[in-house]
A and B are shown apart, each in its own frame.
Chain A
């Protein structure tokens, strides 16, 4: 399966990019994607693990199962308003 990852705010800056692709085997969870990204984005490290998560623009948790084509967003605690 594959899909897109979007990064925002401090995570985007630490990674040096706002978007990348993910590719994982069937049954993978968001937590597995997070550890995969920790290896691929060494500049980001721990921040990936404590990120807020949205899958297809809906809040999700680390144990949410991914499906082919999912757009996964990772970002720090929000600060709008």
Chain B
């Protein structure tokens, strides 16, 4: 993996590696969120997912989400990696690591980051299930223009 704090990659994600990117002497706590490909969805048996990204924009949006987190909570560093391509059940699709001086706020900050990813990150997943395939669509409202 590269040293990018905000990364869209086709390579398997390493939770340790994303954690390492935010580790510093100022950090007393690191919270990590990992999104995993689930084997069932709305009663369907999922075979695998294909993630597609608009990578140039998605890395900018991840950095924007990092800035939003830092503006709201006292955190030292944020790193997010999101994977693309074919992912099998149980593989990590997204890893968020947030380092803070103290644990207060860090949990909330992690929840905020994954919620924002689901709202605005230009990434899409296609679900291949037993009997068919379907594009998953997230929120119905686009973000406000910058």
A residues whose Cβ falls under 8 Å from a Cβ of B: 6, 8-10, 12-13, 52-54, 57-61, 64, 73, 75-81
Q: A residues within 8 A CB of B54?
A: 6, 8, 54, 57, 73, 75
Q: B residues within 8 A CB of A76?
A: 124, 135, 137
B residues whose Cβ falls under 8 Å from a Cβ of A: 35, 51-54, 56-58, 60, 82, 93-94, 114, 117-126, 135-140, 142-146
Interface of B is mostly: mixed
Q: How far is the CB of B126 from chain A (nearest CB, A)?
A: 7
Interface pair A81/B35, CB less than 8 Å apart: yes
Supply 27 A–B pairs (Cβ within 8 Å), ascending by A: A8-B52, A8-B122, A8-B124, A9-B124, A52-B142, A57-B56, A58-B146, A59-B120, A59-B144, A59-B145, A60-B145, A64-B145, A75-B122, A78-B121, A78-B124, A78-B138, A79-B123, A79-B135, A79-B138, A80-B51, A80-B82, A80-B117, A80-B118, A80-B123, A81-B93, A81-B114, A81-B121
Q: B residues within 8 A CB of A8?
A: 52, 54, 122, 124
Interface pair A9/B142, CB less than 8 Å apart: no
